[in-house]
Amino acid sequence: MEYIKAITPILIVDDDEFILKCVTTTLANLGFVDVHYAISAGVALEILDRNKPLIEIIMLDLNMPGVDGIELLRELTNRQFSGGIILISGEDERTLSLAESLARARQLRVLGSLSKPLDAKKLRVLLDQWHSPKTNNHNTSNKASADNITEAQLRLAIESQVLEPWFQPKIDIQTGQAVGAEMLARWPTQQGYIYPSVFIPLAESSGLVDDMTFMLLRKAVQWVNRWQRAGVNFNLAINVSMDSLYDLTFPEKLLEIIAGSDIGLIIEVTESRLMKELVAPLDNLLRLRLKKIGLSIDDFGTGGSNLAQLRDLPFTELKLDLSFIQRALASPRDQSILEHTIELAKNFKLTTVAEGVEQKEHWDLVKSIGCDMAQGFFLARPMPGEKVEQWAKTWRLQQPITP
């Protein structure tokens, strides 16, 4: 990890040279030494254009003469900057929060914001969110992209049942017991694994997403049945595309696959897609709920977070996005929002799940504010079905969790 920090290029944009030196020193103390700096937005854009796509994180002051930070955010959107952004300013917390919201609305990846003078501990929390492209292969993934995978290849992989379900355990925060797992898709190749962010958009755009989902679910059911025979009883959560919920036969197809199995199934629907069109999918959501299928709002906190959904829709679970947790660690105001969200969810009798719990600080926070369950690298990485049983037995031996 220290190696990754050392080769993660960071650009600091601030018109105050003293601040530039202070931030550079703080970053060096945290292990980040590949640091660039710009005293204006114009210089920053020159560095970005010259080094593209080298810069991975930008630390941006909002108050600068000439082109200010807000205008620079607009330019970053125009340049399709895909790295992480940390906003810094001497303005009040409310102004920083509004700037964050604006940047996210522009589809920029905001890691968070910090008030001046910078707190090194809070800065570390924000930087720890960033997963450098250099860290994402885990020695198993290839460099496949949507550009070099065709619909015909994906169709063949589905028909040949090449795709595999992997599973990430979910932990009951209060008891420390492993109680469920989320099914994730992996595409094994001779070069390594292709990850779902590459092929799922293609599956949706080509109309293959249902075939893929049902094929993976059949395999997952076999694994769950095997775990149950070994005494490992997990609920199973699966991600379902909103496209699938427009098919009025979807519930019957899904129920046919799990028929005869004693599986507690939870359907996860991404919040951002849910907000767009609701009337047609609501038919299927209600029917699934009547069949005792759990329904979860996934990635809550990234798609507009309309709390009326918790009141009006038949959901049983709310999954809090990692960015929601990270902002709460860095900002008392965001922590208050997170606490009230969990309180509201409990009032509606919804189970709350913190996803992306990657550090002890995340675990301590969600435990202290009464979240029900958690999943993430701090607890367990995604794993193939054959490893779940042994992991579960080992995990039980490690109880209780020490916060």
Looking at per-residue confidence, does 172 or 127 come out higher? 172
Top-confidence residue, 343 or 312: 343
The span from the CA of 199 to the CA of 218, in Å, is 19
Report pLDDT for 276: 54
Q: Is residue 157 part of a domain?
A: yes
Taking only the tens place, the pLDDT of each residue in 276-322 is 556 668 888 888 998 999 999 887 765 555 566 666 778 899 998 88
Whole-prediction pTM value?
0.70
Of 105, 133, 161, the last residue of a domain is 133
Residue 103's domain spans which residues? 2-133
Which CATH number characterizes residue 97's domain? 3.40.50.2300
Same domain, 29 and 158: no
Of the residues 73, 99, 133, the one at which a domain ends: 133
213-217 long-range Cβ contacts below 8 angstroms, 24+ apart: 213/238, 213/240, 213/241, 213/244, 214/253, 214/254, 214/257, 215/158, 215/161, 215/163, 216/163, 216/164, 216/165, 216/183, 216/185, 217/165, 217/183, 217/254, 217/257, 217/258
255 and 222 together in one domain = yes
- Co-location of 106 and 157 in the same domain: no
User: Both 241 and 122 in a single domain?
Assistant: no
In a domain, 403, yes or no: no
Which of 74-83, 158-167, 176-185 shows the lowest per-residue confidence on average (mean pLDDT)? 74-83
Do 201 and 290 reside in the same domain of the chain? yes
Confidence of residue 140 (pLDDT cuts 50, 70, 90): very low
What is the domain-level CATH number for residue 178?
A: 3.20.20.450
Per-residue pLDDT, averaged over 390-399, amounts to 76
Does residue 148 share a domain with residue 110? no
- Would you say residue 395 has pLDDT above 80? yes
Position with higher pLDDT, 232 vs 358: 232
Residues 95 and 225 in one domain: no
170 and 106: one domain?
no
Q: Are residues 363 and 222 part of one domain?
A: yes
Q: What is the mean pLDDT of the chain?
A: 83
* Amino acid residing at 30: L
Q: What local confidence, expressed as pLDDT, does residue 288 receive?
A: 92
* Structural domain count, the chain: 2
Question: Each residue of 65-113: pLDDT tens digit?
Answer: 777 888 888 888 888 888 899 998 887 777 777 788 788 878 888 888 8
d(CA 360, CA 355): 13
Q: Quote the pLDDT of residue 142.
A: 44
Who has greater pLDDT, 182 or 399?
182
